[in-house]
Amino acid sequence: MISHGLYLSFGESLLKHHSPSAEVVSSMPLDLLFIETDDKQIDVRELYQRVATLRDLGMEILKNDIYQRFCKIFGYAGT
């Protein structure tokens, strides 16, 4: 899927110890990544922190990157 440029979204599975999802997130192109909570009772900030740690990025950089991607894909002008 990644080789075809498809976006991938990861959620709660990232928080599990030795998660295969965490391995994928660590090595996939950042410009294809989204983070989600679905209807789970988890704090999305916890997921962002996990991804920031996995990617060795600052939280604000990660948030801005995903926000810009959201705006581009969904045609949202943002502020």
- Per the structure, the count of domains in the chain is 1
Closest to 14 in 3D by CA, of 60, 31, 38: 38
Helical segments of the chain, H only: 20-27, 44-55, 59-74
* Residue located via tokens 């916890």: 46
The answer to whether position 79 is within a domain reads: no
Residue 79 has pLDDT above 60, yes or no: no
The answer to whether position 28 is within a domain reads: yes
The answer to whether position 34 is within a domain reads: yes
The answer to whether position 41 is within a domain reads: yes
Domain residues for 47? 2-74
Two tokens, residue 22:
């965490």
* Residue located via tokens 């965490």: 22
pLDDT tens across 31-64, in order?
Answer: 999 999 887 889 999 999 999 999 999 999 999 9
